[in-house]
Amino acid sequence: MSTERKSASLVAAVDEYMRIKSLGSWSKTGSSTACIRSTLNVFTRELEKRLKRSAYTTDLTDETVMGIIHDRWPNDGIKTTHAGQWGRIKTFIRWLAVSGYQVGPLHAFLGTRPVRPKPQVSFMFAEEEAKVFDSTYAYSPKDAWLIRIGYLLRRRAGELGAMKVGDFKPKPTPDAPHGTYTFTNFKAKNGRKTLRLTTSQREAFDGWLADYERLVGQKPLADWYMFPNSKGDGKVTPGKKRGRRLLPEEPIKDLPRIWREAFKEAGVYSRWKASHAGRRGGLTDLFYALEEAGVSDPMQHVQRTADHSDRRVTAGYIQMDEGERKTHDALQLVDDIRAGRAPAPSQTEQRDERQSATHTGENMAEVIHVRFGQSRR
């Protein structure tokens, strides 16, 4: 590689890096490559803005790189993905050094390890959801119903954004008296999934579709997005939010902004409040409602509703340590029995419980090898 090639334009170096990234074992998915390209393009523009000229690889120094990163992607930023921006830039600069490009002194930057900000888990419970719905409905019925249906279905924001009108099947069947809805789980390999609706969920869909028809002037078509994109309609009136016109054939955009504006309008916004607050709050409310209704093993139903493969993920999701809680309940039962507040279990109940534990596999003193027909102690 020639000396002239080593001190190259930063734009050209980024192009070369992205070309190599797309080849061989370095290949990434389209979305991953787009994220890397976006980060490096933003970084290059920020550097050129500071230098007030075209940037070269030799302009990469501790002062310029650290300054841009701390301003643009601070360690204590709101999003945990900020640390990801650090990593992409650091990987790019290390590639420059390995590939023979000249860079400035970067000992401090290459030696730092950004600390991922730990987000505070936020929840939106039933009382808060009602307040958010009322305040949001005044300026955007679509946003209000999006938040309410997301809370009732306990679905992720992206899954709601991809849903179409035809995914809602209102026709009752013997197996689904209130209809069904279909969604695409973005975090699982099982693709699209159809679930039965409850009364409250069905009423929410009916309410939104009635408003949908009123806003567009015709009955929504099956291939329209359930929650479409929208843009400003009419002139801006001082002191009032601008009206929105629905674009049914376009997918909704900037989902985090919808929740952020709704929370601010309702006066419940906080630094870490995001669209996942509705999902977490809805699942937590569901757990306690099932528990109060006397449903056995409510965590199992919450896990299925959340579409989690691991029960422990669900327990952590709603901040419920099952093991710690069961131990506390067991210790409290001992106190209640000794104080006479609860009757001691009879010998028959104890024997039945031991037999039940054996049959469910909780008694691990003996494990049967079905394949070889022998027991292991």
Q: What is the pLDDT of residues 214-242, one digit of tens each?
A: 999 999 999 999 999 988 766 666 666 66
User: 303 and 287 in contact (C-beta within 8 Å)?
Assistant: no
Q: In what order do the strands lie in the sheet with 168-169?
A: 168-169, 180-184, 192-196
Q: How big is the CA angle at 244 (ends 243 and 247), to the nearest 5 degrees? A: 160
Confidence of residue 143 (pLDDT cuts 50, 70, 90): very high
pLDDT tens-digit series, residues 65-111: 888 888 877 654 445 567 778 888 989 998 998 888 888 888 877 77
Confidence of residue 359 (pLDDT cuts 50, 70, 90): very low
Check pLDDT > 80 for residue 278: yes
What 3-state DSSP class applies to 181? strand
> Percent of the chain at pLDDT above 90?
44
Check pLDDT > 60 for residue 29: no
Check pLDDT > 50 for residue 373: no
Check pLDDT > 70 for residue 4: no
Cα-only R_g, the chain: 28
Question: Tokens 């992607």 correspond to what residue?
Answer: 73
CA 314 to CA 297: how far, in whole Å? 13
What 3-state DSSP class applies to 69? helix
Give me the amino acid identity at 348.
Answer: T
Distances (CA, A) of 246 to 217, 220, 249, 250: 11, 11, 9, 9
DSSP letters along 183-210, please?
Answer: EE-TTSSS-EEEEE--HHHHHHHHHHHH
CA 115 to CA 106: how far, in whole Å? 19
pLDDT at residue 106, as a whole number: 86
Q: How much is the average pLDDT of 247-274? A: 90
- In 3D space, the residue among 324, 323, 281 whose CA is nearest the CA of residue 306 turns out to be 281
Strand 243-251 to strand 228-233: parallel, antiparallel, or no bridges (unpaired)? antiparallel
CA 186 to CA 232: how far, in whole Å? 30
Window from 135-149, 267-281, 323-337, 361-375 with minimum mean pLDDT: 361-375
Tell me which H or E stretch contains 14: helix 10-21
> Percent of the chain at pLDDT above 70?
80
Q: How much is the average pLDDT of 159-181? A: 95
Q: Residue 233, class by beta-carbon neighbours within 10 Å (0-12 exposed, 13-18 middle, 19+ buried)?
A: exposed
pLDDT at residue 369, as a whole number: 35
Q: How much is the average pLDDT of 262-280? A: 89
User: 309 and 317 in contact (C-beta within 8 Å)?
Assistant: no
Distances (CA, A) of 302 to 154, 279, 305: 10, 11, 5
